[in-house]
Structure 1
């Protein structure tokens, strides 16, 4: 059922700036240009809330970057930008605070290294018309324009690139590209995690929402590309942190198991097997050449060895690993 708004609907786009630093800003520039272009053809009123930590990047730098990336943004009729410093805040805290500060009744959460494709905004808003009380994710996939990108696109936790354009119910979405009613996110913020976890609060939140009867959908037509880890240092840090967070997830009430390390090791083995299976089965979806396969397989097997190491260290030295590998 379509919704007819009697007044101009306000949509708040919440953009954290942490990932912009990791991606070295090229992707952020493309993201801002897409947001600007796609909002200008819409009748809604938009605000973009850029949330940052002044200790990482200054507000002045972000405003200068905006002016260079989209020179005409100050003249936009239906779009305004705000840059908000949240000292000491990180990824999920930035998103929670963005929901509090937003003036729109509809929120769109984007990571600052996501690049939406054509018609992404129209498609995700149309899905909201059909499912107004749901969380609706776009289809985020790994940019496979480089050899490292191909490796991660095939064997990381993101879905493969897809030609689909349908809307389907799911039990898991990504926090980098989704829409939600503001009231829903205010009533159900990302939880604060224990044990030094830096990622995974969204998985817990989705599980809680589903238990309350809140539906989750993915719109495969609302596509956006996401980068692979940027450089060897980021790859190593990300793998160790992912392993630590995956192990410690099994200590949280929603995922508690009797033998968390055993569960984690089985998961690591499964993901290592996926590296081989996906390279042979799905390589054509990322234009993988046969002679590139030894590199993509070796890289991801190395990644998951570090992933396993991160989880094992978290089990053996929980206090030490709490403060390590912040991403």
Structure 2
């Protein structure tokens, strides 16, 4: 089993979240590793143009000094690869039957590894998605724990019913993924969604388990959030073009629909579930204003994309009938 970890998120978030992720992974491997037939392999991948040499080594020395003892550790530079390309590259060079994708700022919780691997006892399962929750420690992060795409800790059943797999916490059969890697799309964070859509269209089996939980770092500050909202809007327009409508007016209508849906959902969760993340009642109006601003920036980005960008339609994948031999070969 190989755990592929990109070092792109770590560039943006506070170091404490990356350190917590490393320490949690080391602890999980100390617990689960002895139960495995082979020593796990942990591969950190980074863009050598963006990360100084020795950065990851120093972080490991501080946060997870025993990582090299509990895993076969390797730190691999790449030339300009970004998030999804780092994950494709990492699994492309893996030599184990199962590969796990974990973000550099996502901290595995006890039982994560065993829960993520267990579904592969079914030879027809090709991918397993875990349960990611957003970490929080201040007003802004609490706001987005309620407003972002991830569910809260107690929403396990809701999470498992959602047909989604996030690239920050999932596992795949290595050989299968090499043939069905993340697509190269003109979008920032939509690759895993289109990837999963293709798997479903082709009839491959995947599952999601809430037992494999990680705590992901929150967004690092208002400036980052503004940029993330803008890229979210651009991505949503691409999604609208591919899945809903190719007309400019239809894409603008899709933008307003998404905006209304997300603001309404965020406000409802802030009001009803703020207590679950220790968000005081007196801060909830401000949290609602921040959520409105975030999705408002996203709306502007989505409308601009609809007015200025053109795309080529993605051809639908032909449906396959996966054989037991094909799927189990990973």
Partner of 2:323: none
Residue aligned with 1:221, SS: strand
For residue 128 of structure 1, report the CA deviation from its aligned partner: 2.9
The alpha-carbon deviation at position 24 of structure 1 amounts to: 2.8
Question: In the alignment, what sits opposite 1:50?
Answer: 44
Q: Aligned partners of 2:193, 2:252: CA distance in 1, in Å? A: 19
Which of 250, 260, 264 is matched with 1:269 structurally? Answer: 260
1:305 deviation in Å?
A: 0.7
With 38-47 and 150-159 compared, the bigger mean Cα shift is at 38-47
Task: Specify the alignment match of 1:72 in structure 2.
Answer: 66
Runs (5+) with no aligned partner, structure 2:
311-330
Q: Please report how far the alpha carbon of residue 134 of structure 1 lies from its aligned counterpart in structure 2 after TM superposition.
A: 3.3
Task: Please state whether the residue corresponding to 2:259 is helix, strand or coil.
Answer: helix
Matched, 1:297 2:302: no
Q: Deviations over 1:199-221 (max 9, x none)?
A: 10111000000111222322112
Q: What is the aligned counterpart of 1:108 among 100, 104, 113?
A: 100
Q: Which residue of 2 aligns with 1:87?
A: 79
Give the equivalent residue in structure 2 for 1:5. none
Establish whether residue 98 from structure 1 lines up as the match of residue 98 from structure 2.
Answer: no
| Residue equivalent to 1:4 | none
Q: Structure 1 residue 63 and structure 2 residue 57: aligned? A: yes
Equivalent pair of 1:138/1:219 in contact (CA under 8 Å)? yes
Deviation, 1:127, is 3.0
Whether contact under 8 Å (1:53, 1:88) holds in the other structure is yes
Residue 119 (structure 1) aligned with residue 111 (structure 2): yes
For 1:132 and 1:298, locate their aligned partners in 2 and report how far apart those are by CA, in whole Å: 46
Q: What SS class does the counterpart of residue 40 from structure 2 fall into? A: strand
Name the CA shift for 1:237/1:166 in 2 (closer, same or farther; >3 Å).
closer
Q: Hey, what's the Cα distance between the residues in 1 that align with 2:79 and 2:244?
A: 31
1:247 to 221, 237, 249: 237
Taking structure 1 as reference, are residues 302 and 12 closer, same or farther at Cα in structure 2, changes over 3 Å only? same
Distance 2:245 2:107 in 1: 35
1:118 Cα offset (Å): 1.6
2:202 aligned residue (212, 220, 241): 212
Root-mean-square deviation (Å): 2.1
Q: Is the 8 A contact 1:107 1:180 kept in 2?
A: yes
User: Residues 22 and 167 from structure 1, CA distance in 2 versus in 1: closer, same or farther, beyond 3 angstroms?
Assistant: closer
Counterpart Cα distance in 2 of 1:202 and 1:306: 23
| Superposed CA offset, 1:113-146 (max 9, x none) | 1111122112222233356623211111111332
Deviations 1:73-106 (A, max 9, x none): 3333xx1111111111111111110111112111
TM-score normalised by the chain length of structure 2: 0.86
